């Protein structure tokens, strides 16, 4: 009886596997099931397919962005200091007309004047007859500048004689200058004495191969802007038979040192302050001495506004429309001549 009971555990030990053997068996099954059918087929696939599959398995899965978080704010656009919202562009003036620019002074704001009254004032002061359409006006309220266009050369000469406006019982001085056409480029020369008038400089300028249109002095400086009826600016021109370096004219940001606002120049400031301010630091000049620390109104740097070291004093270049290139039709395909003796191509 005891022997039978002693033999039973041994028989059970041979029939039932132990717990450790069960774990080993499950691990072996797991390792076998981890292989995919694609891995089984790699032995019979081409070598380049195998390399591609392995590379795809090594590369991380692409990240999918389902939605943008609401708390994320968009990046600010790289706008210049003081620039507001984008304005719609005004239609261009006629290409074939003569253009004259008018800059009012003494605090005249063009945005506060009735356009019909302004046209009548210009015609009366210039002595132009009241024709239906003697000229057209385009008012830039931000820069406080008027640009006129007329098909008549006589009316252009009459507009260039303007010296003042009489608006609302007040007399305002104006500065008049010719405006270069749109299909021109501008150069600039320096060290031209202020005692030389524009007419005198225009008479002694020679640019071989170029047509000089109309000169204009930059404010009270010694720089002269030379519009040319070409698509490029020459490196050198002759000024009174002296070879002079000519540079490409670059547009600068309009900034007023009177009211310390961008968009217009100081000579055409429409809203000058009652108490003048320092043009370098902007401190109100109340009559006493002040410690001046220059501060740029464009880049907020420790220098005067629009200094030569300022990186934001230039405007981006104008993207002028280029004439469309003449496209020729593609050449017809050449037919192969039959080989001699075979009759086949």
Is CATH 3.50.50.60 the right assignment for the domain spanning 98-178? no
Q: Which pLDDT value is given to residue 324?
A: 54
List, in sequence order, every residue forming a beta bridge with 167; answer none if it has no partner. 170
Tens place of pLDDT per residue across the chain (345 aa): 444 444 444 444 444 444 444 444 444 444 444 444 444 444 444 555 555 566 666 666 655 544 444 444 444 444 445 445 566 777 777 778 889 999 998 888 898 888 888 888 999 999 887 666 778 889 988 889 999 999 888 999 999 999 998 888 889 999 898 888 878 899 999 998 888 888 888 889 999 989 888 888 887 788 999 999 888 899 999 999 999 999 999 888 889 988 888 888 888 888 888 888 898 888 888 877 888 999 999 998 999 998 888 988 888 876 555 555 555 566 666 655 555 555 554
Per-residue confidence (pLDDT) for residue 235, from 0 to 100 = 95
pLDDT (0 to 100) of residue 86: 65
> CA gyration radius for the chain?
40
CA gap 53, 42 in Å, rounded: 9
The values of phi and psi at residue 111, to 5°, are -70, -15
CA 230 to CA 248: how far, in whole Å?
Answer: 13
What confidence score (pLDDT) does residue 296 get?
92
**Phi, psi (rounded to 5 degrees) for 40:** -70, -30
| Domain residue ranges of the chain, discontinuous segments joined by + | 98-178, 185-248, 254-316
pTM over 0.75, yes/no: no
With residues binned 3-state (H G I as helix, E B as strand, rest as coil), the percentages for the chain, rounded to 5, are 25, 20, 60
Q: What pLDDT, on a 0 to 100 scale, did the predictor assign at position 328?
A: 58
- Specify the pLDDT at position 77: 45
Q: What is the pLDDT of residue 7?
A: 46
Quote the DSSP letter at residue 72. P
Contact 242, 117 (CB under 8 A): no
């Amino acid at each position: 009886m005891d022997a039978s009971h002693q033999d039973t555990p041994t028989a059970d030990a041979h029939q039932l596997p132990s717990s450790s053997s069960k774990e080993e068996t499950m691990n072996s099954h797991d390792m076998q099931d981890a292989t995919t059918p694609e891995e089984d087929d790699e032995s019979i696939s081409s070598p380049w397919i195998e390399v591609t599959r392995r590379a795809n398995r090594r590369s991380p899965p692409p990240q999918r962005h389902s939605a943008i978080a609401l708390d994320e704010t968009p990046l600010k656009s790289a706008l210049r200091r003081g620039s507001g919202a984008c304005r719609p562009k005004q239609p261009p003036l006629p290409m074939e007309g003569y253009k004259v620019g008018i800059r009012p002074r003494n605090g005249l704001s063009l945005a506060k004047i009735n356009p019909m009254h302004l046209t009548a004032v210009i015609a009366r002061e210039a002595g132009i007859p009241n024709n239906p359409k003697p000229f057209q006006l385009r008012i830039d309220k931000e820069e406080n500048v008027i640009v006129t266009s007329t098909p008549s050369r006589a009316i252009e000469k009459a507009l260039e004689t303007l010296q003042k406006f009489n608006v609302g019982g007040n007399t305002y001085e104006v500065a008049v200058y010719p405006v270069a056409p749109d299909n021109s480029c501008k150069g600039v020369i320096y060290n031209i004495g202020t005692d030389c008038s524009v007419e005198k400089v225009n008479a002694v300028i020679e640019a071989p191969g170029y047509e000089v249109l109309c000169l204009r002095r930059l404010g009270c400086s010694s720089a002269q802007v030379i519009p040319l009826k070409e698509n490029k600016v020459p490196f050198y021109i002759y000024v009174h038979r002296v070879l002079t370096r000519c540079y490409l004219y670059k547009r600068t940001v309009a900034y007023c040192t009177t009211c310390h606002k961008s968009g217009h120049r100081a000579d055409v400031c429409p809203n000058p302050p009652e108490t003048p301010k320092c043009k370098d630091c902007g401190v109100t000049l109340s009559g006493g001495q002040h410690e001046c620390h220059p501060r740029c109104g464009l880049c907020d740097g420790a220098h005067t506004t629009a200094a030569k070291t300022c990186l934001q004093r230039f405007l981006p270049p104008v993207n002028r429309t280029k004439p469309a290139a003449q496209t020729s039709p593609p050449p017809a395909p050449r037919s192969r001549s039959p080989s001699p003796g075979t009759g086949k191509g």
